[in-house]
Amino acid sequence: MTRADSRRPSVHVSIDVASLDEGVRFYGRVLGLVERARPFPSMAILDAGNVTVCMHEKAAGTPSSPASAEARRYERHWTPVHLDFHVADFEEVLEDVRAEGGAVETELRTSGPKPVAFCADPFGNGFCVIGEPVS
């Protein structure tokens, strides 16, 4: 094993939500993520197929980091890091986002090689849904 190989991490994604049960339900119903473990009451491990999602229940108003004065909030917020979910059935996933309390904010269907929708979960976390190539 080379030094570069030994430094390559296993990547897991963490999502903070105000209600763990609601977060697990949303991502399960909309994107098919499957709960694999609940190591403690405020954390669930979800299997997304090719990535592990660690979902954490954290109350609104709690500190986001010891190094920041910003408190956790669950209104729609922006972050430069977000998840892209590539899906086979673009239309069905967008319907499910809406039906499960999320928002589809922008849809771009002909601007690039694949349709994309900018979305938010019920906790204000942004993500993109990317469909199959447009033919």
Q: Would 68 be classed as within a structural domain?
A: no
The yes-or-no verdict on residue 19 having pLDDT over 90 is yes
Burial class (CB in 10 A: 0-12, 13-18, 19+), 93: buried
In a domain, 70, yes or no: no
Cα→Cα distances 14→29, 53, 75, 95, 111, Å: 18, 6, 18, 24, 30
Does 65 reside within a domain?
Answer: no
For residue 135, tell me if it sits in a domain. no
CATH number reported for the structural domain that contains residue 19 in this entry: 3.10.180.10
pLDDT for residue 135 is more than 80: no
Range of the domain at 30: 3-60+75-130
Average per-residue pLDDT for the chain: 93
**Which pLDDT score is estimated for 7?**
85
Please state, in angstroms and rounded to a whole number, the distance separating the CA atoms of residues 37 and 91: 30
Total count of domains within the chain: 1
pLDDT at 45: 98
67 located within any domain: no
Q: Which pLDDT score is estimated for 127?
A: 96
State residue 79's pLDDT score.
82
